[in-house]
Amino acid sequence: MEVDVIKVVTKGDRNPYQQPDLKSAFTEDIERLLLEGKVDAAVHSLKDVPTELDDSFLIASTPERADPRDTFVSKSGKRLEELDPTPRIGTSSLRRIIQIKHLRPDAEIVQLHGNVDTRLNRYMSTGLDGIVVAAAGLHRLGLSSEITQYFDPDVITPAPCQGIIAVETRKDMSEVIKMFERIEEKHVRIEAESERAFASRLGGGCKIPAGVLVQRNAEGVKITGFLASRHRIVRDSISCSVSKSIERAAELAEKLTHLVESNIG
C-alpha cells in the first residue's frame, strides 16, 4: 500500500511556547483537511482530541497503546524525591504541577511548553533540575535512555488517553474505515472510551487538573482517577469487569467531583 504523509502545522504547533486555549488546538486544522477531502485519515494523540467529535467524524482505529505513564528526566540522574531542596522543575501541565507540588511542596515550577523535542532542548539549555514528560513521547522518539524515573499512576496519574494514537476519518469513508480496523486493538478501544467518558463527565476541558488510567487486571480493569481543585486533591481507584468499564469510569469522575467539592476525608 502506498501512503502519502501530509504534515500539518496546527494551531497548537504554531504557538509552541504558549498553552493552547482550545482543546481542539492540535486537531481542528487537520479535521478541516478531512472535511475538504484533502486527506483520507488523520492521526492524532488521542489525549488532544475533544471528547465530543463533530458529527461528520469517527475514530476508525486505536492501535496498540504506548506506555501511558509520566516520567521524570533529570541531568543529575536523581529521582524527584532525591533532589536537593527547592528544585526547579519544568512543565506547563496543571495536572502535573499539582501532583508534583504534592510530592515536593518545595519545588519551583518553571513553565515549559511545546512538543517533546522543544521541551527537552529548552531543558538542556537552562538551569532546571528536571522536567516531567510523557513516557510515550520519549519512547516514540527513541529517547527512552533520557528517562530517570517512571511515575506510578497512583503517584502521578496520567492524562486521559495518554499514549493512545487515534486514527480519525469521516463517517462516509467506509473503505478507509475498513482498512484501519485492521490495526484496531479492542482492549485499547475500551481504555480509550472509558477514559474519555471520565473526562467527558468532568467537562472534557484541557485546563481541568484531572487524570485517569484504565489498566487490565485479574478482575477485568482497574480505573485510577485523579482530580484537584484550588484547595483539595483526591485520587481513587476501582476494579470492575470490562463490560462495565465505561460506565464505572464516568461514575468515578462523579465521585471525585463530589469529594473535591465536599469536606469528606
Q: What is the pLDDT of residues 216-228, one digit of tens each?
A: 998 899 999 999 9
Structural domain including 173 reads 11-66+160-261
233 and 196 co-located in one domain: yes
- 29 contacts 8 by C-beta, under 8 angstroms: yes
Q: Are 145 and 170 found together in one domain?
A: no
Buried b (16+ CB within 10 A) or exposed e, 99-122: bbbeebeebebbebbbebeebbeb
Q: Report the chain's C-alpha Rg in angstroms.
A: 19
Helix (H/G/I), strand (E/B), else coil: 245 = helix
| Strands of 165-170's sheet in order across | 42-45, 165-170, 57-61
Residue numbers in the chain where pLDDT is lower than 70:
14-23, 204-207, 263-265
**Same domain, yes or no: 62 and 164:** yes
Q: Do 75 and 100 share a domain, yes or no?
A: yes
Residues 129, 256: one domain? no
Please give the pLDDT value at position 265: 46
Number of domains the chain contains: 2
Residue where a domain stops, chosen among 150, 176, 206: 150
Q: Per the domain annotation, does 3 fall within a domain?
A: no
Judge if 190 and 256 occupy the same domain. yes
Distances (CA, A) of 30 to 113, 136, 202, 239: 21, 22, 26, 37
Give the distance from CA 195 to its chain's centroid: 10
pTM reported for the whole predicted model: 0.91
Task: Check whether residue 169 and residue 53 sit in a common domain.
Answer: yes
The three cell numbers of residue 140 are 516514540
pLDDT in tens, 116-131: 888 888 888 888 999 9
CA torsion angle 98 104 110 114 (round to 10): -60
